[in-house]
Homo-oligomer: A and B are copies of this chain.
């Protein structure tokens, strides 16, 4: 039996190859439609064509899987924010550019929340303890997490002279609070189902408030 083609293995599922990532991918699909509570261990293994218990070779828990999916969703958010910045028209005015990059952080965040509510909720579903958004698994293409992207944009404002240096410390929490709050209200709060155009306007107003009040 040296030939392998007719010597078919009794089980073709062994050595899936990359089951861990397959499960995360399945989890993302589930989270995409249904949010964190839809990330069901058995459903993920089913989608990966594998027995439920196989998951326990790669994750200690359903919670561990959910955590990994959450990180992946956070990375999606980071990429959306990066894309928003990358789509900015080029400018020679350094101050205008810094300001545009700052605003793009917020609009990208809000756009992701609206376009991918399931992933957004999953990204911020924190199952237990943790200092979530700081891990590198939550980073986007540039290697920055959403929080770091915000920090960089704020630094840009300071460099451009648009934000006094003494106002810089802690500013990320002010900006993040306002934008995240609006996102939460849009995704599953009383502002849910707002027309995308109106939601965009609301986002601009919130960012205006941040710029004034920061």
How many protomers of this protein does the assembly include? 2
- Taking CB atoms and an 8 Å cut-off, the chain A residues in 168-194 that contact chain B are 170, 173-174, 176-185, 188-192
Does A100 make an interface contact (CB < 8 A)?
no
A177, B206: Cβ atoms closer than 8 Å: yes
Does A59 make an interface contact (CB < 8 A)?
no
Least CB distance, A144 to chain B, in whole angstroms:
15
Which residues on the B side are within 8 Å of A214 (C-beta)?
209, 213
Dominant secondary structure of chain A at its interface with chain B: helix
Closest 8 CB pairs of A and B: A213-B213, A181-B181, A209-B213, A177-B181, A212-B213, A177-B182, A180-B181, A178-B178
Residues in A lying within 8 Å of B, measured CB to CB:
37, 124-126, 131-134, 147, 170, 173-174, 176-185, 188-192, 202, 205-206, 208-214
